Amino acid sequence: MAAIREVLARLNEAADAFTQALDSQENDDRSSLREPDPWYNLSLLSAQALEAQGELIATAEAIIRLAKGPQACLTSYSDKVPLKGSITYHELSAALPIAPELLQRLVRLASLAGFLVEDKDGAVRHSAMSSVFLRDPPAADAARFLFDVDMRASNYFYDSIKLDPSGRDNRCCPVSLAFQKDDKSEAQAHPLTIWDILERDAALKAQFHSSMVAVLASPSHALKHVPNAYDWGKFKTLVDVGGSQGQASLAIAEKYEGIHIIVQDLPEVVEMLQPSRATEAARRLDFQAHDFFTEQRTVADGYFLRQVLHDWPDKEVQTIIKNLVPACRSGTKLLVMDIVLPVPGSIPWFMEKQLRSVDVSMFSLCSAKERTLEEFRTLVESCDARFRFEGVCTPPGSGTSLLSWVFDSGSGNARADEIPVNKDPLDG
């Protein structure tokens, strides 16, 4: 993209100007400038150095926005601005509960981050980033959910940790406390989980489900990674536990002929579904009402939990896994597809930052977490020693990994040095 190359050239120029400005002035510890993470005293920077610093920061932020793309950069929203053309501040304020003068101040700040544009006539039009609210409704809902729920909860981190230093009680998480403060009636006496909150607010629930569509549309969580993560042809029957509308199961069935998949979810989810029978693969999917906090009664060759366990604290995860055991037979597979947190510093900084952000977001929403490989192993194998770990595979480009266990009453667990990591699932 030409725009990235142009900004990159400006970034190099700004970096050269800033380093030259630092080198040309006195510094109270010049040796620190040669360190990988240099320290310098801002109060000693000259006017020239401060100007160069400002240009460097601005161009660095610009190239980050371009590299991430408009969907990933969403930080606010306004669907009142037309997709084509522009709108005056007075026209826009008439559709919003805000005075034109204050609106102008906010738009001018947002435009510096690449969100909305004030044109030469003083009217407001969309930038690539802000236009996502009209071009991509699921991405817009994800941004709205971030502001309506996640950001509201950020004010309650301290209170949550005071109440529950372990961070494992999903009725004391920041989101729960945030909504309790807003609801002085029943919720005050009976703390709510995020799932209770969504059930009580139909609009928020719809927004949440729409935002999940945006997640599935992201390259790192695309459905194409699911059939590539394992040799699903080993199974005649598979149960997709908490499988929602069966999108992941359909992706598997389309690639692997002969597999029959039972998609399980709560009764209210299954009742709303209108399963398609249009293709041969779709006809190999059946939907079944089941609460994974109750005992599993459907016997199958394998049980698949995709992005389920990261929604729950350890205690609840143990309940989910233990409820599968009565249906397990020797050779039954347990397959978990979730983010696997890396060893700190083992992957690029930007990627690790994203994963750590998601991890803390799971705490905020439901006192849950993303887990390391060792945490997954410890958690699953503590439920029943007959679960023997087989390995983990991360398909190229996927943000999630597939971990597999086999239920085997005659074998112990593999030693850590025997764990096959990132093995090609089709190698056998």
Of 182, 144, 176, 142, residue with least CA distance to 157: 176
Q: What is the reported pLDDT for 8?
A: 80
Question: What is the average per-residue pLDDT within 178-206?
Answer: 78
198 CB-contact burial (10 Å; exposed 0-12 / middle 13-18 / buried 19+): middle
Q: What is the reported pLDDT for 6?
A: 81
Read off the pLDDT band of 1 (50, 70, 90): low
Same domain, 129 and 146: no
Same domain, 61 and 111: no
Question: What is the average per-residue pLDDT within 396-401?
Answer: 93
CA distance 291 to 112: 48
Same domain, 248 and 356: yes
Residue 391 lies in a domain: yes
Query: What sign has the CA pseudo-torsion 335, 338, 339, 341?
Result: negative
Whether 73 has a pLDDT exceeding 50, the answer reads: no
Of 88, 72, 69, residue with least CA distance to 3: 69
Both tokens assigned to 262 = 């039972």
Same domain, 411 and 264: yes
Per the annotation, the verdict on 126 as an active-site residue is no
Task: Describe the crossing of helices 2-23 and 47-68 by its angle, rounded to 10 degrees.
Answer: 150
3-state secondary structure of 402: strand
| CB hemisphere CA count around 238 (13 angstroms) | 30
Read off the pLDDT band of 428 (50, 70, 90): very low
Whether 120 has a pLDDT exceeding 50, the answer reads: yes
Residue 249 lies in a domain: yes
Hey, how many other C-beta atoms are within 10 angstroms of the C-beta on 268?
Answer: 9
**Residue % of the chain over a pLDDT of 70:** 84
Read off the pLDDT band of 40 (50, 70, 90): low
CATH classification at residue 314:
3.40.50.150
Whether 415 has a pLDDT exceeding 50, the answer reads: no
CA distance 296 to 212: 26
Residue 78 lies in a domain: no
Higher-pLDDT residue of 34, 180: 180
Same domain, 142 and 102: no
Q: What is the pLDDT of residues 264-277, one digit of tens each?
A: 999 998 988 877 77
Read off the pLDDT band of 187 (50, 70, 90): very low
Same domain, 234 and 151: no
Both tokens assigned to 354 = 């994203």
What lies within 8 Å, CB to CB, of 26 at 6+ separation is 44
Residue 168 lies in a domain: yes
Residue 76 lies in a domain: no
Same domain, 176 and 232: no
Whether 134 has a pLDDT exceeding 90, the answer reads: no
Both tokens assigned to 251 = 């992706």
Higher-pLDDT residue of 63, 156: 156
Q: What is the reported pLDDT for 37?
A: 57
Same domain, 19 and 113: no
Question: What is the average per-residue pLDDT within 296-308?
Answer: 98
Whether 159 has a pLDDT exceeding 90, the answer reads: yes
Question: What is the average per-residue pLDDT within 293-309?
Answer: 98
CA distance 70 to 292: 37
Hey, how many other C-beta atoms are within 10 angstroms of the C-beta on 70?
Answer: 21
Last residue of a domain, one of 215, 236, 260: 215
Same domain, 203 and 277: no
- How far are the Cα atoms of 208, 245, 256, 267 from residue 202, in angstroms, in the given order? 10, 18, 37, 17
Mean pLDDT for the chain? Answer: 85
Residue 28 lies in a domain: yes
Whether 34 has a pLDDT exceeding 60, the answer reads: no
Read off the pLDDT band of 22 (50, 70, 90): confident
Same domain, 16 and 164: no
Contacts 24+ apart (CB under 8 A), 186-194: 193/366, 194/149, 194/170, 194/365, 194/366
Whether 261 has a pLDDT exceeding 90, the answer reads: yes
Considering its fold, how many domains does the chain have in total?
A: 4
**pTM of the predicted protein model:** 0.77
Same domain, 41 and 165: no
Q: What is the pLDDT of residues 351-363, one digit of tens each?
A: 899 899 999 999 9
Read off the pLDDT band of 348 (50, 70, 90): confident
CA distance 334 to 392: 12
Whether 74 has a pLDDT exceeding 50, the answer reads: no
Q: What is the reported pLDDT for 300?
A: 98
Query: What sign has the CA pseudo-torsion 128, 133, 136, 138?
Result: positive
CA distance 31 to 40: 10
117: containing domain? 86-134
268 with 334: CB under 8 angstroms?
A: no
Of 126, 221, 290, 310, catalytic: 310
Residue 75 lies in a domain: no
In the chain, the amino acid numbered 349 is W
Residue 74 lies in a domain: no
Which ranges constitute the DSSP H helices of 41-97?
Answer: 47-68, 89-94
Last residue of a domain, one of 215, 246, 263: 215
Same domain, 118 and 49: no
Q: What is the reported pLDDT for 137?
A: 86
Of 365, 371, 370, 360, residue with least CA distance to 172: 365
